[in-house]
């Protein structure tokens, strides 16, 4: 669920233009920075100019901001993968399946997002649809058309099930 | 407050400031101790390794994310089918009742 949240948060980002909102944005950024650094440990070291230049260029080429890229490179540099494991990953990445995987990942991520948003819209009116379903089944019963009443998974759904759907898709599991 | 590189004059050592997760910081401390290096030398080696293995580890991360997303997608699809089935059924039942009303 975290991946979807990160993805949604990114999409919800709005550009802020005027002075007032610019000030507010700075406040928000300061607050975010404070939260971000609260759980973090700060290190400050000097490194050779050449290494710093290479790191800067490396991150620029990949379009990664220093704020995100430096800790990521440190994390990757400290990764516990052995040389054998890295070699295995290299072969896997170069294989046909490995190359295809990037595309499959992008497509699946998009389809998951699309499906999530569609579910969200449907869940917003789930109570109404469910009540309508119950009402229609009652009317069929009254019309003595009981043979035409289907038995469904949602017949036993109560408020807690609807709430769970709401929590999952509308509140995105945050509450 | 974000991690950054602070360049001074050309050719002079550069200040690297980074904010690390506690676990990464502990790994960093272990690395320094285990290899008997200064923090600066250790960071240089770590950054070089990080850059060298960047795509391999991105690939590994992507694979893990892909498995999670795939599982999520299956779950969303199941819900989607169910929610759509409910809407379709309502339309079908409405049609039955309309026909019954017409007959009646």
Tens digit of pLDDT for each residue in A76-85? Answer: 999 999 999 9
Same domain, B11 and B42: yes
List the helix and strand counts (H, then E) for chain B: 3, 2
State the pLDDT at residue B18: 96
Q: Rounded distance, CA A153 to CA A165, Å?
A: 14
> What are the structure tokens assigned to B1, written together?
């407050």
Locate A15 and state its tokens.
């550009």
Q: What is the biggest distance separating any 2 CA atoms in chain A, rounded to whole angstroms? A: 86
Q: Are residues B71 and B44 in the same domain?
A: no
- Domain with B81, as residue range(s), is 54-104
Q: How far is B45 from chain A (nearest CA, A)?
A: 8
Query: Among all residues of chain A, which has the CA nearest to that of B46?
Result: A77
The mean-pLDDT minimum among A1-5, A156-160, B51-55 falls in A1-5
User: Same domain, yes or no, for B33 and B62?
Assistant: no
pTM score, whole prediction: 0.75
pLDDT for the residue numbered B103: 75
Residues B59 and B47 in one domain: no
Looking at the fold, whether B1 and B41 belong to one and the same domain comes out as yes
Give the separation between CA A94 and CA A99, rounded to whole angstroms: 6
Flag whether pLDDT at A6 surpasses 60. Answer: no
pLDDT band at residue B43, thresholds of 50, 70 and 90? very high
Report the distance separating Cα A42 and Cα A166, nearest Å. Answer: 40
Burial of B95 (0-12, 13-18, 19+ CB in 10 A): exposed
C-alpha distances (whole Å) from A4 to each of A77, A119, B10 are 27, 13, 43
Total domains in chain B come to 2
B48 and B7 share a domain? yes
Q: What are the tens digits of pLDDT across the range A135-169? A: 999 999 998 888 999 999 999 999 999 999 999 99
**Assembly ipTM:** 0.83
Q: Residue A39: which pLDDT band, with cuts at 50, 70 and 90? A: confident
* B1 and B46, same domain (yes or no): yes
Do B9 and B48 have their domain in common?
Answer: yes
Q: Distance from CA of residue B99 to its chain's centroid? A: 53
For A44, the closest of B12, B17, B79 (CB atoms) is B17
Q: Are residues B8 and B44 in the same domain?
A: yes
Inter-chain touch B2–A48, beta carbons under 8 Å: no
d(CA A112, CA B65): 12
């Amino acid at each position: 669920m975290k991946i979807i949240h990160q993805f949604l948060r990114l999409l919800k980002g709005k550009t802020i233009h005027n002075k007032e909102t610019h000030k507010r944005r700075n406040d928000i950024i300061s607050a975010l920075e404070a939260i971000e650094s609260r759980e973090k440990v700060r290190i400050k070291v000097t490194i050779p100019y050449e290494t710093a230049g290479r790191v800067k260029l490396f991150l620029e080429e990949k379009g990664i901001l220093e704020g995100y890229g430096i800790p990521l490179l440190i994390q990757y540099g400290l990764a516990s993968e052995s040389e054998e494991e890295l070699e295995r990953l290299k072969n896997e990445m170069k294989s046909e399946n490995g190359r295809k995987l990037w595309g499959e990942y992008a497509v699946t991520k998009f389809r998951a997002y699309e499906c999530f948003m569609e579910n969200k819209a449907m869940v917003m009116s789930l109570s109404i649809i469910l009540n309508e379903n119950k009402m229609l089944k009652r009317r069929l019963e009254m019309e003595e058309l009981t043979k035409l009443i289907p038995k469904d998974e949602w017949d036993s759904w109560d408020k807690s099930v609807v709430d769970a759907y709401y929590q999952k898709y509308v509140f995105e599991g945050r509450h | 407050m974000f991690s950054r590189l602070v360049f001074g004059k050309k050719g002079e050592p550069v200040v690297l400031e980074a904010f690390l997760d506690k676990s990464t910081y502990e790994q960093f401390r272990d690395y320094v101790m285990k290899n008997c290096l200064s923090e600066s030398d250790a960071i240089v080696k770590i950054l070089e390794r990080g850059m060298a293995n960047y795509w391999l580890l991105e690939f590994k991360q992507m694979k893990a994310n892909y498995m999670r997303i795939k599982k999520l997608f299956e779950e969303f699809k199941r819900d989607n089918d169910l929610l759509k089935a409910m809407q379709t059924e309502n339309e079908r039942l409405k049609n039955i009742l309309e026909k019954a009303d017409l007959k009646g």
